[in-house]
Amino acid sequence: MRVIVVLSLALLGCEQVLGLDAYTLQDDQVADAARGEPAPDVAVDELADAALDELADAALDELVDELADVTADTTVSDVAGDQVSEPTTLIEPEASADGAPSCEISCGADGGDNCCTSLSVRGGTYYRTYSNNGSGPTGEADPATVSSFRLDKYLVTVGRFREFVAALYPDSGMSVQPWLPVEGSGKHTHLNLGEGLVNGGATSPTGNIVYETGWDATDWSTSITPTDSNLHCAGAWSAWTSGDDELPINCVNWYEAYAFCIWDGGFLPSDAELEYASATTQEREYPWGSAAPGIQYAIYDCDYPSGSSACSSELDAAGAVNLAPVGQAPLGAGAWGQLDLAGELWAWTVDWAVSYFNPCVDCAMLVPGSGRAVRGGSFDSPDVVTASSRAARLPEFRQVDVGIRCARTP
């Protein structure tokens, strides 16, 4: 319905561009029309007729090209006005893996998906603070507006991270300089005329809005140290030394997560962006809705792979058995198709885990606090976390239950 209306308006606009002068009315025809009498057929100027056809064809071509985007993004709320309803399932979410240097074709439940797949998230407004026990959101507070962006379908895998490490530590026999992020990179450059996210709660001495600054090459670059020993931070549950490149990389600090996303052509998502991808405008209980969680929905409580909920020292010799290859819980897909938004690994965000700033329009909490915000829960969480759950981790720490998910320009 939405597409038909837009198409009709576009064609009407073509006629209005030509104007009424394209038609020639004789004086007696005008008089007949004024008396309410039927007017004879109106002759259309040949040049105007050709121009109308050309403009109409151009409008049709443009709208047909955009038809998939419009219909894929359409929700029930588009038809019902401002009444928000459950987003429709995205049958063919718009995806892209172009430009990411870490791509592999080995992800998903069948192992045949591109690990770099990045899916469009349609922007909207939601409440960052709420509760939902399956009957709908309550206690809503701290509204935030998030512009459209892309969010990777999968957490970053060990295999993808290996390519990043190789760029940081090139073979000594190669005439290649080690890669490092440049000053100011990693910003959400599609926002605020390239300035990026608004720094919530911060103002300049003159009272102006402050934006994200991007990578701090002076103070942060020395914290990028993903060596074998550093990435083996958790014994049996260290994905780097597991021998399984489809596992999500863990034991990475915040600086390495930020740097990886820059190197991979994206940026670290904001806390609001990552929560919104899980919660949507519905403020969902879980990323997939309110269905009771299980191993097909989320990797949590050490239920993978046997369902035994056994996180014990006996696994020290067995490898990272409670971590699953990314995308192994297909029923847990969020509204826009991302997997492992709950469980598997928490994901770093660009924010500090401080009190929310209101109002928030494409904002991030960048005034330093005690830890950086993480979202999503992990394989050893005793209960699957809800779509609104948030935790804090020290940015320099390496932990078994924290990984990376990158975002990208829309």
Predicted local confidence at residue 16, as pLDDT: 38
Alpha helices by DSSP H, listed for 199-315, are 217-220, 228-231, 254-263, 271-279
In angstroms, the CA 18 to CA 393 distance is 62
Q: For strand 363-364 and strand 372-375, is the pairing parallel, antiparallel, or unpaired?
A: unpaired
Amino acid at 87: P
Structure tokens at 135: 């009957």
pLDDT class of 61 with cuts at 50, 70, 90: low
User: Which whole number is the average pLDDT over 177-190?
Assistant: 96
Residue entry with tokens 């990026």: 196
Residue of 150, 151, 157 whose CA lies nearest to 115: 157
Structure tokens at 197: 């996210």
Percent of residues, the chain, with pLDDT higher than 90? 60
Helix (H, G, I), strand (E, B) or coil at 43: coil
For residues 132-171, one letter each, b for 16 or more C-beta atoms within 10 angstroms of the residue's C-beta and e for the rest, the string is beeeebeeeebebebbebbbbbbbbbbbbbbbbbebbeee
pLDDT 10s digits, 204-261: 888 899 999 999 999 999 999 999 999 999 888 899 988 899 999 999 999 999 999 9
User: Which whole number is the average pLDDT over 163-177?
Assistant: 82
Q: For strand 407-408 and strand 360-361, is the pairing parallel, antiparallel, or unpaired?
A: unpaired
For the cut 50, the answer to whether the pLDDT of residue 80 exceeds it is no
| 8 A C-beta contact, residue 167 and residue 264 | no
pLDDT class of 307 with cuts at 50, 70, 90: confident
Three-class DSSP labels, 116-158: CCEEEECCEEEEEEEEECCCCEEEEEEEEEECCEEEECCCCEH
User: Which whole number is the average pLDDT over 176-194?
Assistant: 95
For the cut 60, the answer to whether the pLDDT of residue 64 exceeds it is no
Predicted local confidence at residue 69, as pLDDT: 45
Close Cβ partners of 139 (under 8 Å, ≥ 6 residues apart): 129, 130, 131
C-beta pairs of 304-309 under 8 Å, 24+ apart in sequence = 304/328, 304/379
Record the pTM.
Answer: 0.76
Q: For strand 402-403 and strand 346-352, is the pairing parallel, antiparallel, or unpaired?
A: parallel
Least confident of 248-257, 275-284, 318-327: 318-327
pLDDT class of 90 with cuts at 50, 70, 90: very low
Strands annotated E in 147-289: 149-152, 198-203, 209-211
pLDDT 10s digits, 221-236: 999 999 999 999 988 8
What's the whole-number average pLDDT of the chain?
Answer: 80
In angstroms, the CA 105 to CA 97 distance is 11
What is the sign of the dihedral through the CA atoms of 319, 321, 327 and 332? negative
The domains of the chain, with CATH numbers, are 104-408 (3.90.1580.10)
In angstroms, the CA 380 to CA 315 distance is 13
| 8 A C-beta contact, residue 345 and residue 324 | no
In angstroms, the CA 154 to CA 91 distance is 17
